[in-house]
Chain A
Amino acid sequence: MPVRELVPKVHVEPPATHKPTGRKTVIRALTNTGIGAAAFLITCLSLRVVLPFPEIDDGVSQKFRFFATHKDEFDTLFLGSSRVYFQISPAIFDHVTRESGLPTHSFNFGIGGMYLPETSYLLEQILNLKPRNLKWVFIEYDELQTKWSPENQTSRRALYWADWKRVSLLLRKLTDAGTDPLWLPSPGKIRDIVLRQKDEKNTRDLLTFYATQFERNYTNVSRGADVLDFFLRRDTKERRAKYLGAASDGYVSRPNRMSPNQVAAYERGLAAMAQTDARALSPYTMAAYRQCAQEVRKIGAAPIFLITPSITQINVATDSAGLTGVVMAFNNPRTYPSLYRSSVHRDGQHLTQSGAEEFTRIVAANFVELARAGSIK
């Protein structure tokens, strides 16, 4: 143990020099603080403009870079979660449409775990690339998610889309503030959130989380690595193949089936969901989809909203209230029994490869039919 005197002997405060903190000092301090804050904000915004698209896991960057390079080759785009990623085969879709006399060239931009609001952010980024030949954009139709799993909260994936448009909508939904321009959170909801009551046990944490993500996103936290990635071009062929699939069309198949126990659980879940009433999407979700539709229309393409055949989607209401786009719904087991057979499902949410192929054919056939009927404009 050290024996030398380390800590200064008893700290005796020098008598305070009576330099009064005058008005001038305060004004000077405020001015300098303002200069510092302005320099900080200007630098953050400038960096945000010049930095490349962030390096995001799970294939987001690979697909984005690929699409950016080939943007004018595609006229049809599919956007959504794994329910799109593993279930829509562009090759089959294009084959069916070609045979039906309405040839397309489509790309699957599905990403595992991607829901609104990430979908809407990515859609904007894709449209900002100005793909000249894009005519149809299929967007997965589902409720606006406010929950994030704790293990994903620390990833770049949870950060890059957190701009004001997305975060404000999430905060509105969490505080039940409505979609009017005037932000008026419900007092009852706020009370429940503060006191962590009823269903609001985690809402406070979610509000903090999204507010923090917004701040981190606008201050470019951890974007330094993107510069390195941009120059090193670390988009290796193997990594790209993993996410873009064998045909480089963004589709990756998942062949495995359910075990007998899983089949039994699936059948039970299917029966239970068939009994439930239709669930209308929240006004926040509709606002997000309206924004998406508007963006798609701006570049002259048509938005098409897609409800996939999964157990949790069965009771999603299919009316496209206020949307300027058609909703293609495959969530009725009675209308599409072949898509709900346990033999074509990997789990309650996803189809096997053969199920995905069958689903794609049906989507393509319906699309051609609607396009011919003039429903898709």
Chain B
Amino acid sequence: MSFVEFRFLWFFLLAFIVYWAMRNNAARKVWLLLCSYAFYAAWSWKFTFLLLGSTTVDYIVGQMLGRTESPASRRFWIATSICVNLGVLGFFKYFNFFVSSASEFLAWLGLPASVNTLYLILPVGISFYTFHSMSYTIDVYRRKQPPISNFVDLALFVSFFPPLVAGPIVRAVYFLPQLVSARRFSNVDVRGAVMLFLAGFIKKACIADGVAPTVDRYFAHPADFTPTSAWIGVLFYAIQIYCDFSGYTDMAIAAARLLGYQLPNNFQFPYFARNVSDFWRRWHISLSSWLRDYLYIPLGGNRGSRGFAYRNVMITMLLGGLWHGAAWTFVIWGALHGTALLIHREWIRLTEGLKWAVRAMRWLAWPITIYAICVAWIFFRAHDLRSAGTILRQFTLFRGGGNEHFHQWFLLVIVALLFVHWLNSRRWFAESWQRWPAPAFAAVYGCTFAVVLLFVPPHYTPFIYFQF
């Protein structure tokens, strides 16, 4: 069940009405928990047991961490949590990748080995809820979060349906305090939430799904297309992934808000970033900050020598790439971003105090950044390294490719979307509607939604981040 499907509307209406009709906070939480498991079961009821198992393990670990003061014992329990969580994630997501990579490596060494891969179905959203759950045990271990005695609270935090399958990644310290007291409907900004939902819906259902066929066509056979079409294909993918993912996030945040809960922001106009560090402060913020706090800083962060800090950046980005998917293309995507971050740091260090550099970057920073990000997207989207190489040649050298081409006016679509995005960043579509009388707002909203549906493609494209 996806946010853009009609059945989600009925599901959410039921969840919403029953939730607010209840007065008791404990009953509400149980209801939301049931809804969350039902939401997840719509994909596969079998994997709800995995979700429950992961929650149970972390609940026990949390309890044990709360009962012991011994550092060795605490280390044992946190190691158990990390091993179980990453073990499950690794098994479902990376087992086949590592086995086949090892086999290919042995074959390359001249030692062909016969290995078997398993037919594994990747549980939807496993990367997200694993990180939700791990943030709880790690924070309890770090004494930033007291252990939760109420299992329902923890289970609801891990499985809360709006961010369950594609984020934003919610931390225990952010969400658990919200479960303590009953939410009040009079405190819910209904207008803000429904407008955010509409914005997310337009991004996903109209824009991302609208450009998806072009992207799919190009990336399926990149060698058939001209370099100009390669640019269109890659830029369309940059649009698609942003609108797809941020659209999901907007709808998740809106759905949570309607139930009285706040989720962290995940995007802040990432394509207006002026360097790669800035990009990571704006793109998938909940993941980048999670990796920073639970990986980069524990690795040593900026402490120590420059080389040591750079090593930490590269490890973090490589693992961040691998988090997205079990393929070398994702590892290269992470490596490219890591390299870009290091280049940016070196540039800052070397040009410190040089006025010409500052002046030049005033004009060049944005195009260079967006170009680098698009180059990295090629690896993120390409089916394999060979086709990534073909696309890279077309995109960077304007060479190679066939005769097939997309309409040139597709470039105008890109410019138009960028313009709308820019207007939005300038708060051009700001909250003037908040001042309208409620009935007028409701009527305009209803009409607008009906018009928006005209531009939804007939085919439904699953959210890109569902596969992660």
Interface residues of A in 209-229 (CB under 8 A from B): 211-212, 215-216, 219-224, 227
Residues of chain A within 8 A of B317, CB atoms compared: 1
Identify the interface centre among A7, A223, A224: most chain B CB within 10 Å of its CB. Answer: A7
B393 within 8 A of A: no
Report which of B171, B301, B341, B449 forms a contact with A7, defined as CB distance below 8 A.
Answer: B171
Instruction: Check if B450 sits within 8 Å of A220, measured CB to CB.
Output: yes
Q: Does B458 lie within 8 Å of A43, measured CB to CB?
A: no
> Within the assembled complex, what's the spacing in Å between the Cα atoms of A115 and B228?
43
Query: B446, A10: Cβ atoms under 8 Å?
Result: no
Assuming the A-B contacts A35-B442, A47-B454, are A7 and B285 also in contact, with contact meaning beta carbons closer than 8 angstroms in the complex? Answer: yes
| The one of B181, B285, B341, B450 that contacts A43, using a Cβ cutoff of 8 Å | B450
Nearest-Cβ distance from residue A34 to partner chain B, whole angstroms: 8
Q: Is the CB of A21 within 8 A of B458?
A: no
How long is the Cα–Cα vector from A377 to B449 in the complex, in angstroms?
A: 49
The answer to whether A36 and B459 touch (CB under 8 A), given A11-B173, A21-B184, A212-B6, is no
Which of B70-78, B249-257, B289-297 lies on the face that meets chain A? B289-297
Residues of A within 8 A of B5 (CB): 212
- B455 near A: Cβ within 8 Å? yes
Q: Which residues of A contact B458 (CB under 8 A)?
A: 154-156, 159, 216, 221-222
A322 at the interface (CB under 8 A from B): no
Chain B residue with Cβ nearest A26: B185
Contact A208/B7 with A7-B171, A16-B184 known, Cβ cut-off 8 Å: yes
CB distance from A29 to the nearest CB of B (A): 7
State the Cβ distance, A206 to closest chain B Cβ, in Å: 14
Partner of A11, one of B177, B439, B451, B460: B177
- Is B443 interfacial (CB 8 A cutoff)? yes
> At the interface, yes or no: B286 with Cβ under 8 Å from chain A?
yes
Is A12 located at the chain interface by the 8 A CB criterion? yes
Q: Tell me if A40 is interfacial: C-beta within 8 Å of chain B.
A: yes
What are the residues of chain A within 8 A of B438 when measuring CB–CB? 28, 32
B350 within 8 A of A: no
Q: Is the CB of B292 within 8 A of A2?
A: yes
Contact with B along A1-21 (1 / 0, CB 8 A): 111101110111100110111
A1 touches B288 (CB 8 A): yes
Provide the residues of chain B in CB contact with A216, threshold 8 Å. 6, 458
**Closest Cβ of chain A: how far from B270's Cβ, in Å?**
12
Q: How many Å from the CB of B43 to the closest CB on chain A?
A: 13
**Alpha-carbon distance A32/B262, docked complex (angstroms):** 24
Inside 8 A of B296's CB, which chain A residues have their CB?
A: 1
Residues of B within 8 A of A13 (CB): 177-178, 180-181
Q: Looking at A6, A21, A224, A227, which has the most chain B CB atoms within 10 Å of its CB?
A: A6
A28, chain B: closest CB distance, angstroms: 7
Task: Note all chain A residues with C-beta closer than 8 A to B286.
Answer: 7
Question: Which chain B residue lies CB-closest to A4?
Answer: B281
- Complex: how many Å from CA A227 to CA B442? 27
Q: Does the CB pair A39–B444 fall under 8 Å?
A: yes
Tell me whether B302 and A3 are in contact (CB under 8 A). yes
Contact present for B444 and A223 (CB under 8 Å): no
Residue of B nearest to A45 (CB): B450
Output the least CB separation between A33 and chain B (Å). 7
> Would A154 and B460 count as touching, CB distance under 8 A?
yes
Give the interface size bracket for B toward A: 35 or more
A47–B454 Cα distance when bound, in Å, is 9
A38 at the interface (CB under 8 A from B): yes
Assuming A40-B449, A222-B456, is B185 touching A6 (CB within 8 A)? no
For A156, list chain B residues within 8 Å (CB).
458
Q: How far is the CA of A19 from the CA of B280 in the complex (A)?
A: 39
* Closest-CB distance, A237 to chain B (whole angstroms): 21
Residues 186-222 of A at the B interface (beta carbon under 8 Å): 208, 211-212, 215-216, 219-222
> Which chain B residues in 294-321 approach chain A with CB under 8 Å?
296, 301-302, 312-313, 316-317
Q: Which residues of A contact B180 (CB under 8 A)?
A: 13
Contacts of B187 in A (CB 8 A): 16-17, 19
CA distance in complex: A93, B407 (Å): 44
A48 to chain B, nearest CB (A): 10
Residue B264 at the chain A interface, CB threshold 8 Å: yes
A37 — which chain B residues lie within 8 A by C-beta? 446
Q: Chain B nearest CB: distance from A51 CB in Å?
A: 8
B221 in the interface (beta carbon within 8 A) = no
> Counting CB contacts under 8 A, is A31 at the interface?
yes
Residue contact A32 to B439, C-beta cutoff 8 Å: yes
| Nearest opposing residue in chain B for A12, CB measure | B177
B11 within 8 A of A: no
Q: Report yes or no: A19 in contact with B281, Cβ–Cβ below 8 A.
A: no
Residue-wise interface mask of B (418-462) relative to A, using a CB-CB cutoff of 8 A (1 in contact, 0 not) = 000000000000000000001101111111011101111111100
List the B side residues contacting A33 at CB < 8 Å: 442
A222 touches B301 (CB 8 A): no
Q: Which residues from 55 to 110 on chain B have a C-beta closer than 8 Å to any C-beta of chain A? A: none
| Residue in chain A with minimal CB distance to B455 | A224
Given A20-B186, A154-B459, A221-B458, A35 contacting B453 (CB threshold 8 A): no
Bound state CA distance, A39 and B449, in angstroms?
9
Q: Does A25 sit within 8 A of B, measured CB to CB?
A: yes
CA gap between A28 and B438 in the complex, in Å: 9
The answer for the CA separation of A41 and B316 in the assembled complex, in Å, is 50
Question: Which residues from chain A contact B184 at a C-beta distance below 8 Å?
Answer: 16-17, 19-21
Tell me the bound Cα distance from A20 to B23 in angstroms: 12
**Nearest Cβ on chain A to B213's Cβ, whole angstroms:** 11
Return the CB mask of B156-188 against A: 1 if under 8 Å, else 0.
Answer: 000000000000000101110110111111110
Other than the given A154-B460, A155-B459, A222-B458, 20 more pairs (CB < 8 A) read A3-B301, A7-B171, A7-B174, A7-B264, A10-B144, A11-B262, A13-B178, A13-B181, A25-B185, A29-B190, A32-B438, A33-B442, A36-B445, A37-B446, A38-B443, A44-B450, A44-B453, A154-B459, A159-B458, A212-B7
Jot down 16 A-B pairs with beta carbons below 8 A, ordered by A.
A1-B291, A1-B296, A1-B312, A7-B289, A10-B173, A11-B173, A11-B262, A13-B180, A20-B184, A35-B439, A43-B451, A212-B6, A212-B7, A221-B458, A222-B455, A224-B454
What are the 5 A-B residue pairs with the smallest beta carbon separation, nearest first?
A39-B446, A43-B450, A40-B446, A224-B454, A36-B442
